Structure 1
Amino acid sequence: MATTITEPVRAAEPRPEDERITPPKVPNPWLAKFDRYLYGLIGFAVFLVLWWWVVDSGYVSDMYLSTPQDTFRAFIDGLDDGTLRSQLWPSAQRALIGFAIALVAGITVGILVGSFQIFQKLAEPVLLFFRNLSLLALLPVFVLFFGIGEESKVAIVVWACFWPILLNTVGAVSGVERLLLNAARTLGAGRLYIFGRVILPAAIPAIFPGIRLAAANAFTALVAAELVGGSAGIGIYINTAALRYQTPQMYAGIVALGLIGILVNGVLTVAERRLTAWQRGLTSR
């Protein structure tokens, strides 16, 4: 008969003092809260120093690239004497009108296409073709249809903003969990209720990246549109300064355009947080 030999249980050896597990360090709550802004300021300061050094050292002539000081001075002077300030509102107005039209049209068409699979199959080759067309190649077409007035500029902005919103909306609506739709139908919900209370809230978080991309495209397309012709606008201001070799004024206009883009992105970020607060409440712990 086989006997089973069991090893005696050894007592746990005492852990040396230097091998004891030390608790993880608790991060500074102030640094944890403002970490993003702190690093952003450092990165921006490094960028300004490099910008100044490239021009001051002579690697790039100040005829082509002005220093940050000269650019900032031209920006303040342009706002003060009105030469730059008067060009901002016409551009902002065109961009806002074009963006608003594209927002309504893109979301409406995107919901329609994304809600019906047959529409997705029919529209897929058309969307694939038009989304890859260069905006600059279409400038003559817009001028031919709408002339060189305000209509063509707004139409160009609408075109640039429409496609990101449309494509994101189609993907967001078609990507809604079928389990949610089936559960709502099982509970007796109608189509309008399902659309307003299930599809749209579930799709909004995926639609917003397209909206923010469209807002960026609005001002990019606007500069190209204003180069076609017109009497006022930030794109015209930048082009006129470049033709006159007014380098600080040219970069001041570019800085103004970038600041407007940051402001618009901030507004959309706040709107996105408000509209998707319910999702953060479900996913946060």
Structure 2
Amino acid sequence: MATITEPARDTAAPDEERIAPPRAPNPFLAKYGRLLYGAVGLGLFLLLWWWVVASGTVNPLYLSTPQETARAFVDGLADGSLGTEVWPSVQRAVLGFAIALVAGIGLGIVVGSVPVLRKLFEPILLFFRNLSLLALLPVFVVFLGIGEESKIAIVVWACFWPIFVNAVGAVGGVERILLNAARTLGAGRGYIFTRVVLPAAIPAIFPGIRLAASNAFTALVAAELVGGAHGIGIYINNAALRYQTPQMYAGILALGLIGILVNGVMAAAEWRLTGWQRGLTNK
């Protein structure tokens, strides 16, 4: 008896036939997308800022427009009234940050390398890392006065703890397998410390360094408000007391731009010093 063969059926699922191939990413957006979105976001922020003042939602006595702020910023740089106040603040912040960097990394490495010291310092770290700097301003003023010493000491204090805490955790958290492998190959303590512990700890220390760099100017402005003759914090405070609103926001703008510059420098330094690990983490 002859058999009837059924026609071959298409076994492909209908949904699979309708799936379109993924679109190739736009090369322009892939290269400049972050910059483009950032510019759009900044433009929307400036537009909202202008509208809040122009519509009368906020009194111009309390908030100047972006145009007035930019004009006051440029004029302050041109006549030197702003630039002469920024430079003393930069000097104090850099000096305080440098002292905190050396002390924080040095003490952090020592404490992090000795388990007993880590246990002894744990309650102290827990206390001081959560202590507000503003609460300590009167203490610095009582001991050091309102001169340069107290301002630099406040910056050192604000920068020291993020660096110290991260250094202790980074050195103490180095993988035991790396240390054991180095010992198995006959490496001495000095070699292990300089060639294994420090390179492995640097990537974990840098977040504390970047946080400390941003804390430097935040603490400095608070310190300068206590007293002094020159500084960006004093410039902002004097402008506020005289109801010079554009000048006040021009000082705040200068402070923000300095923060962006400092963050860029720290990011570049981190990229340079931790470049060895990118080949291990990126495909």
TM-score, normalized by length of structure 1?
A: 0.94
The equivalent of 2:276 in structure 1 is 278
CA, structure 1 residues 14+280, in 2 after alignment: closer, same or farther (shift >3 Å)?
Answer: closer
Per-residue CA deviations over 1:100-135 (Å, capped at 9, x if unaligned) read 000010111111111111111100111111122211
CA distance in 2, matches of 1:36, 1:191: 45
1:69 and 2:64 correspond: no
The equivalent of 1:251 in structure 2 is 249
Counterpart amino acid of 2:207?
A: P
Per-residue CA deviations over 1:19-60 (Å, capped at 9, x if unaligned) read 244221110222112221111111111110111111111111
Counterpart amino acid of 1:54?
A: V
CA, structure 1 residues 107+21, in 2 after alignment: closer, same or farther (shift >3 Å)?
Answer: same
The equivalent of 2:230 in structure 1 is 232
Runs of 4+ aligned residues of structure 1 deviating over 4 Å after TM superposition are 14-18
CA distance in 2, matches of 1:18, 1:191: 61
The answer for unaligned runs of 5 or more in structure 2 is 1-5
The equivalent of 2:153 in structure 1 is 155
The equivalent of 1:168 in structure 2 is 166
The answer for unaligned runs of 5 or more in structure 1 is 1-7
After TM superposition, give the deviation of residue 17 of structure 1 in Å. Answer: 10
Question: Sequence identity, in percent?
Answer: 74
CA distance in 1, matches of 2:69, 2:224: 22
Alignment of 1:1-285 (within 5 A): 12-13=10-11, 19-285=17-283
The equivalent of 2:3 in structure 1 is none
**Any idea what SS the aligned residue of 1:189 has?**
coil
| Equivalent pairs, count | 277
After TM superposition, give the deviation of residue 145 of structure 1 in Å. Answer: 1.5
After TM superposition, give the deviation of residue 137 of structure 1 in Å. Answer: 1.2
The equivalent of 1:3 in structure 2 is none
Counterpart amino acid of 2:46?
A: L
TM-score, normalized by length of structure 2?
A: 0.94
CA distance in 1, matches of 2:16, 2:108: 63
CA, structure 1 residues 17+187, in 2 after alignment: closer, same or farther (shift >3 Å)?
Answer: closer
CA distance in 2, matches of 1:51, 1:20: 47
